[in-house]
Amino acid sequence: MVGAVERDEVRERFRRSGYTLTSQRRAVLEALRDSEGHPSAEEVYLAAKSRNPKVALGTVYQALSVLEEIGLIEAKRWSESPVRYDVNTEPHHDIRCTRCDAVEEIPGVDLGDFAAHIRENTPYDVTSASLVIEGVCPACQTQDG
Amino acid sequence: MVGAVERDEVRERFRRSGYTLTSQRRAVLEALRDSEGHPSAEEVYLAAKSRNPKVALGTVYQALSVLEEIGLIEAKRWSESPVRYDVNTEPHHDIRCTRCDAVEEIPGVDLGDFAAHIRENTPYDVTSASLVIEGVCPACQTQDG
DNA sequence: ATCCTATAGATAACCATTCTTGAAAAAGTC
DNA sequence: GACTTTTTCAAGAATGGTTATCTATAGGAT
Ligand SMILES: [Mn+2]
Ligand SMILES: [Mn+2]
Ligand SMILES: [Zn+2]
Ligand SMILES: [Zn+2]
């Protein structure tokens, strides 16, 4: 049961942020939560439309940026792919398959005090440091050399 | 003198790759080498044009991808900025200022066996892992809160 | 019910980058 | 060197993902 507790959490975040929790935004968030991987805006749009046909692509982009702003989702970027969205807001890394475009999580790896090392070696005020990881997924490895 | 040795290196790379070293490609590379920071394609274009007016923006993009392919330069990406190009092909990290868009190098930090950690925790065949680092540069820090 | 404001949908615009195309240059061939 | 074949180039059109604009709508406050 993912339901009750998270529903309250969502309402609470919206309330605190001042944004209103509309049916479209709810559809976008639920589409994202039910999706297996880390979908693109376009994929979220298709999934959200099947829940609530009254939702436009532009609205999905806007909803995603609101959801990100209030901390319910995260955006992740790889160079050869549109932005992917992630409902898992716990710190973790994701790897993208360069052949089939799948994205999966990498458990148990922590940037740890790497950020500290960086801070020691630059006069910048470091605000973010994230890893962009790519590879070939098991399924694509077996498909050929 | 950055001249002679590197010129041979450039010629050699072009020869081995099979690409021809044209005046446009040379202008692009030299523009990049003379630039202080980590310019975008557009900035490289402006600098290259002043050396060789016979160069179009499309040609610069094409030249940059050839130069990257043969290992003379590297492309680096941040989410809020067009691709930046780097003549420093030694392994190192760069940080981008989110206020003024400047990019500078961070010396003495090595991803080290972090890549090994990642490989241990995913069934993917990891082909690349790079850090995207952002912050506020010293100049922008003093300009306000 | 009326007003008010935030949000929605539709569509146009945007921007960095890539693709297409005809022309020019290079490289082979004799 | 003339001729043919291949490659590269510059210019501009096209693309893809995303954002901005504009009008209409819905839902809460009074
Ligand atoms: Mn994830
Ligand atoms: Mn650098
Ligand atoms: Zn795959
Ligand atoms: Zn700055």
Q: What is the distance between the alpha carbons of residues A122 and A112, in angstroms, rounded to a whole number?
A: 18
- The answer for residues whose C-beta is within 8 angstroms of residue B73's C-beta and 6 or more apart is B29, B32, B64, B67, B85, B86, B87, B89
| Inter-chain CB proximity A125 and B117 less than 8 Å | no
pLDDT over threshold 50, residue B1 = no
Strands (E), B39-115: 74-76, 84-86, 93-97, 103-106
Give the pairing of strands B93-97 and B103-106: antiparallel
- How far from each other are the two terminal CA atoms of chain B, in whole angstroms? 43
pLDDT over threshold 80, residue B112 = no
B5-31 average pLDDT score? 85
Residue of B74, B94, B104, B106 to mutate for A, most A C-beta atoms under 10 A: B106
Class of residue A16 by CB neighbours under 10 A (exposed 0-12, middle 13-18, buried 19+): exposed
Q: Higher confidence at residue B133 or residue A6?
A: B133
- B109 touching chain A per CB within 8 A: yes
pLDDT value of residue A132: 97
pLDDT value of residue A4: 47
Q: Which two tokens stand for residue B110?
A: 């090595």
pLDDT value of residue B145: 64
A45-66 average pLDDT score? 93
**Domains in chain A, CATH or no CATH each:** 4-84 (1.10.10.10), 91-144 (3.30.1490.190)
Q: Which two tokens stand for residue B119?
A: 């490989």
Would the Cβ of A27 be found within 7 angstroms of any atom in strand D?
no
Least confident range of A105-114, B3-12, B126-135 = B3-12
**Cα(A133) to centroid(ligand 3), Å:** 14
A51-62 average pLDDT score? 92
Place of tokens 């039910």: A34
Q: pLDDT averaged over chain A?
A: 91
- B130 touching chain A per CB within 8 A: yes
Choose among B107, B128, B135: nearest Cβ to A134.
B128
pLDDT, tens digit, for every residue of A18-34? 999 999 999 999 999 99
pLDDT over threshold 50, residue A54 = yes
Query: What three-state secondary structure class fits B8?
Result: helix
Q: What is the distance between the alpha carbons of residues B129 and A133, in angstroms, rounded to a whole number?
A: 4
pLDDT, tens digit, for every residue of B66-85? 999 999 999 999 999 999 99
Rounded, the Å distance between the CA of A143 and C1' of C29 is 45
| Inter-chain CB proximity B134 and A135 less than 8 Å | no
| Global confidence as pTM | 0.90
Q: Which residues surround ligand 1, an ion (CB under 5 A)?
A: A 86, 88, 94, 105
Q: What is the distance between the alpha carbons of residues B56 and B48, in angstroms, rounded to a whole number?
A: 9
Which chain A residues contact residue B138 at CB under 8 A? 123-124
pLDDT value of residue B13: 87
- B101 touching chain A per CB within 8 A: no
Which nucleotides on strand C sit less than 7 A from a protein beta carbon?
Answer: 6-12, 15-20, 26-27
| Inter-chain CB proximity B131 and A132 less than 8 Å | yes
HEC string of chain A equals: CCHHHHHHHHHHHHHHHCCCCCHHHHHHHHHHHHCCCCCEHHHHHHHHHHHCCCCCHHHHHHHHHHHHHCCCCEEECCCCCCCEEECCCCCCEEEEECCCCCEEEECCCCCCCHHHHHHHCCCCEEEEEEEEEEEECHHHHHHCC
